[in-house]
Amino acid sequence: MLTRHDGIPVFGLYAGHKNKVSVTYTLDGKSKTETHEVYTSPLKADAIDNRNLSIFHEVKVKEVKEGFEDRLYLVNSHSYLPQGADVNWTAPSMGGELSADGAISMGSATFDMVPMLYIVDTQGEYRWWMERDAVHDYRGHDLEKRGYFMGINETKDGLFTYVQGQRFGLFDLMGRFKSNPLPRGYADTTHAMFPMENGNFLVRASKQNYRNPEGDLVHTVRDHILEVSPHGDLVDVWVLPEILDPYRDALLYALDMGAVCANVDMDRIGETMDSFETDAPYGDLAGIGAGRNWAHVNSISHDPSDDSIILSLRHQGNVKIGRDKEVKWILAPREGWTGKFADKVLTPVDANGKPINCTVKGKCEGDFDFTYTQHTTWLSSKGTITSLDNGDGRWHEQPVMPTDKWTRVVEYKVNEEDMTVEQIWEYGKERGYEWYSPITSNTEYRPDRDTMFSFNGSIQLFEPGKPTIGRFNEIDYKTKEVMVEIDVYSEKANQTHYRGVLVTPQSLFGF
């Protein structure tokens, strides 16, 4: 470690403070201790427009039970771009016009925000901060530094994955980055990057110049999964418009148009799309067909037992797809899954293996519910499937009262031989609307302390003029007792957070 860092790396110093650091070592057989004073500068986060409620995100610690005091949580959030920003970082045209390469419209439009990435402890103190100018050029026109900074997962080596617009890579907490451009022909990587056991990475991207069945040359939206090497070479690709049905619209008509992922429109809260919108001009719009946001893949997981990928498609459900590009199972309501896909839909069962009656829209009898507009459907260390069930469009409808919506963490056990699925754990439904997170967010089972970790990144998003709450929770798996609850508040009204990551000690060593 000393030779790697030309000294001892120090993590977690308090900002704007004269910190005391003690170093203990053995020299010539004798133990020695030195104390050093290290003064750190204050955090830098100047307001970039006139919409700020605060400079930094306020942190409120609500619950930390004994045994969890050492936890560190990374917040993956963002701030608005300056008003009048003039860069569309994927293509120069919108609304069905031809771009310079002859393709209609564009991929992910202005899906670009200034990153706010930091780590807090269980006292609510900032212990690490990423200087946003180092990774994002919101003042200039460097396309390599535009786009959402997201897709953060910790690797087995203690590094962190990330995607940002036209590049993907790794970073460590000492501030070093390694990045690669997307393979040629692909663009607009957001949301998800997953480290595989073979050393490669799974990255969610879009395809440039894709010829869809209508004969149009389009830039697709969030519907290609790339396996890439650490050097950025393309190893394999899952072309979802050809593997799944890009014309399935069962959930699309039920989406709340106030927020489709991080695209927030406060004027359309509670509205649903009409038939025209599902067949709207190509671009980053919820709709059907390659060239529109029909899939919206927001997470990737890998099952090494059969070398398959597990995907969360916000607008379709959850699917498992093999290396042969064949669908293994679908975890979603049956409505709209026709033809060869009908037999791939899992049948809900109870603890005794008895089938549970469900409507085609997913309303079930007994202790079972599907996920709706979910995030982070991952294979857990127990071999189960966990997911953050956001709950928008539940049962393919919008409730009469918006406050009837709820979000939950859910765990399923899939039997691939019988093509059945059992719900074995859930939390959040009982907390109702105050725990509702319409978009973003994540969850993960943590075996080290037998908890279900979650981050609800968009609580209070639809409260006009109020900051959005990102809520960290660790829930005891056996008792469902809240072991940790920490809220972070956005610095602007109605500005969503993306995800939260639990940081482990190995992350401190870096490259």
Task: Give catalytic residue positions.
Answer: 375
Q: Are 299 and 222 in contact (CB under 8 A)?
A: no
**Residue 475 neighbours by CB distance under 10 Å:** 21
Q: Which residues of 225-255 are buried (b: 16+ CB within 10 A; e: fewer)?
A: bbbbeeebeeeebbebbebbbbbbbbbbbbb
DSSP conformation letters of 430-492: GGGGGG---S--EEEEETTTTEEEEEEEEETTTSTTSEEEEEEEEEETTT--EEEEEEEEEEE
Closest Cα partner for 311 from 300, 327, 323, 295?
300
Closest Cα partner for 189 from 161, 163, 209, 170?
163
Q: From residue 187, give the alpha-carbon distance in Å to each of 95, 190, 239, 278.
A: 19, 10, 14, 23
Phi, psi of 240 (to 5 degrees): -65, -35
Compute the distance between CA of residue 286 and CA of residue 137 in angstroms, rounded to an integer.
Answer: 28
Q: Are 456 and 435 in contact (CB under 8 A)?
A: yes
Angle at CA of residue 315, ends 406 and 498, nearest 5°: 60
**Residue 274 neighbours by CB distance under 10 Å:** 10
**Residue 131 neighbours by CB distance under 10 Å:** 13
Amino acid at 10: V
